[in-house]
Structure 1
């Protein structure tokens, strides 16, 4: 009966074969509707490999907490002796014992397991913060690169037309060879710029597809995202004021330190002698029955758990140093990004001002060319400068966006609406 009851409480084995081929959801790949930025962020949180990996780690921590909460099982011992002479009966001994000393450090182990579970919960939340803002950044980067690619294609077409006209003018002897070579060089440089931009766009598409757990080669149709705006300064100040109490990675380190502190406490409790107490019932070969109590004590003469105590103490010191250093780095990173953003904002304002000036100069040059007061090479060169400035302004705006997203991740707000991330 005891054996049947024990087997009923055991877990059973179920095979789970590994897949032979990769499996991807095809709900996004099969649709033709443009994917919005909110849909991309939501899907990234649901299907991102990083989020799923963090969820598996949380499940493992939950299982460890369950395992550490279990008490040790009692021990049942049975022995028998067969007499070798006549007139005697078989002897036996039955004992039931329990490790009483395990109850001493059990509360510390439970508290440590609870702290370990909290650490993984905060780690999952930190991963979601990063994935959400990275999905937004990759989404806007793809849209921005598509716009820049269109601008560069327009520049290539413009310089191709100009190069063809210069080559024809060179054949007629209307321009010198250095002007024709200069136009051909500018056209080749723009072609190379377009190729490089195409590689960057393809890389951004692949990163977004991987983040959304889409099969390789998926071409997403992206809707125009909302225009980003500056991170409010008060949000940065408020976040820095209590960064150590709200940022999940710092909270995870605090929980990890609390876990290690309990492990150190449990190691200290483990230096006490191990104590097993049990009861026995037996019969000797003379048919005399006996009952008694068995006590087993481990003498801490050579070990005394001193090695584990030293390891756990050193680990706690390491985690203490890691948390203090991470806290410093977190504040320094926010300050550095704010300084970089101020510099990039100034550069972006100057770039947009220069682009507006080139637009005005281009209108005047076209009017002058129509009146015969400006040559065609001058007009085409000014048009190339205007298009190049537009491309540089777009790239600079995307750089500002990337800094904003990184800042939002560090202070724990959404890069879309600047609301606090939960």
Structure 2
């Protein structure tokens, strides 16, 4: 199971996409950290009369006002990079737990398919014996039809299981980027156990500090807050300061200082300020909504798990009772106290109950994996995922 999870983390297209986005954010962080370049200007005049020399003017200037909002832009770039790093971590959480769920589901379906194949083989033999008994007039027609129906139902159940197993295997192969048709031999995973309720309550207290997607939203809000601050700084006049060196047509050299100021009369960066402010408010509301949705989802899954848990316990109790009945029926059949059709009917009921129990167990597993992802723990050992996926 560890090998499957490790390969999923290495080959998942979603993780590769998140890594590329992190690379882009890193490049943008580097670009935002660069200082603006100075401006070099040169002009020359050619006199049209004799006795004069060509004039020129050389200037070197720098946008000093760009240094005012640079700290805010740098902090915004750092937060943007942190946001993408947390988004990558959140993707790894989801992929790891999804790989675990697919692994256990494949193992469960493979085990169940093997059991059903054995039972179908046995029921085929029983049906053939009943049909021969019918030809000898040792059993009635209704007994023969019952045996035939039980066998056909089992064959149909087996076909459905094979289809589900094939689909689950293809999904796992896709996650691991294996060739189509690749068949994995999966070792039995350790038994899963429920997440303790006290652990869930403890995790919910600091859920906003634990889940990477929520932390990414907080980093995104911090980024936008800095961009809003930079937009406020940018409303002040743009200031360029430079030095000049020139010569006129009379061969007189001059040196000077140049200052240019942009007057914020019509624009004043007010449009950008409004956009950055609205974006910041949107991110704040999105964070609050995502946090509320997380609490609601955890509560809903807890309720669903409680209901499914009761159903699973009842199903396992029914399966155990049927197994006992089948064992007793085998003994009674050997003693001649139970007919073959009655035994076949009990075995068919046990088959259907095993399938139902397995599907319920898989539903519980899927809900547990979803719960673990929501609260930020591993679905394998319920340990915090932050340390495992760094």
Tell me, yes or no, whether TM beats 0.5: yes
Partner Cα distance (1:218, 1:394) in 2: 25
Determine which of 294, 304, 320 is the counterpart of 2:258. 294
Partner Cα distance (2:47, 2:157) in 1: 97
- Tell me the equivalent position of 2:69: 105
Deviations 1:261-319 (A, max 9, x none): 11111111111111111111112222222222222211212211111111111111111
Structure 1 SS opposite 2:40: strand
Partner Cα distance (2:77, 2:247) in 1: 45
Gap change, CA 1:167 and 1:73, over 3 Å in 2: same
Measure how far apart 1:240 and its partner are: 0.5
Determine which of 116, 134, 145 is the counterpart of 1:152. 116
- Tell me the equivalent position of 2:8: 44
Measure how far apart 1:55 and its partner are: 2.0
- Tell me the equivalent position of 2:51: 87
Deviations 1:320-347 (A, max 9, x none): 1110000001111111111111111111
Quick check: 1:151–1:391 contact (8 Å CA) kept in 2?
no
Quick check: 2:147–2:344 contact (8 Å CA) kept in 1?
no
- Tell me the equivalent position of 2:357: 393
Partner Cα distance (2:127, 2:43) in 1: 101
Quick check: 1:111–1:259 contact (8 Å CA) kept in 2?
yes
Quick check: 1:277–1:294 contact (8 Å CA) kept in 2?
yes
Partner Cα distance (1:39, 1:48) in 2: 14
Measure how far apart 1:48 and its partner are: 2.3
Measure how far apart 1:147 and its partner are: 0.9
- Tell me the equivalent position of 1:309: 273
Q: Does 1:277 align with 2:232?
A: no
- Tell me the equivalent position of 2:196: 232
TM-score by length of 2: 0.94
Write the mapping of 1:96-175 to structure 2, written as runs, cut at 5 A.
Answer: 96-175=60-139
Deviations 1:50-78 (A, max 9, x none): 22222222222111111111110101111
Moved more, 81-90 or 93-102: 81-90
TM-score by length of 1: 0.87
- Tell me the equivalent position of 1:410: 374
Partner Cα distance (1:151, 1:89) in 2: 104
Quick check: 2:113–2:161 contact (8 Å CA) kept in 1?
yes
Gap change, CA 1:85 and 1:179, over 3 Å in 2: farther
Write the mapping of 1:131-280 to structure 2, written as runs, cut at 5 A.
Answer: 131-280=95-244
Any gaps of 5 or more consecutive residues in structure 2? none
Structure 2 SS opposite 1:295: strand
Any gaps of 5 or more consecutive residues in structure 1? 1-36
Moved more, 150-159 or 247-256: 150-159
Quick check: 2:68–2:233 contact (8 Å CA) kept in 1?
yes
Gap change, CA 1:168 and 1:74, over 3 Å in 2: same
Superposed CA RMSD in Å reads 1.8
Structure 2 SS opposite 1:101: helix
Partner Cα distance (1:94, 1:184) in 2: 102
Moved more, 242-251 or 226-235: 226-235
Partner Cα distance (2:22, 2:367) in 1: 30
Deviations 1:145-171 (A, max 9, x none): 101211222232233223333433444
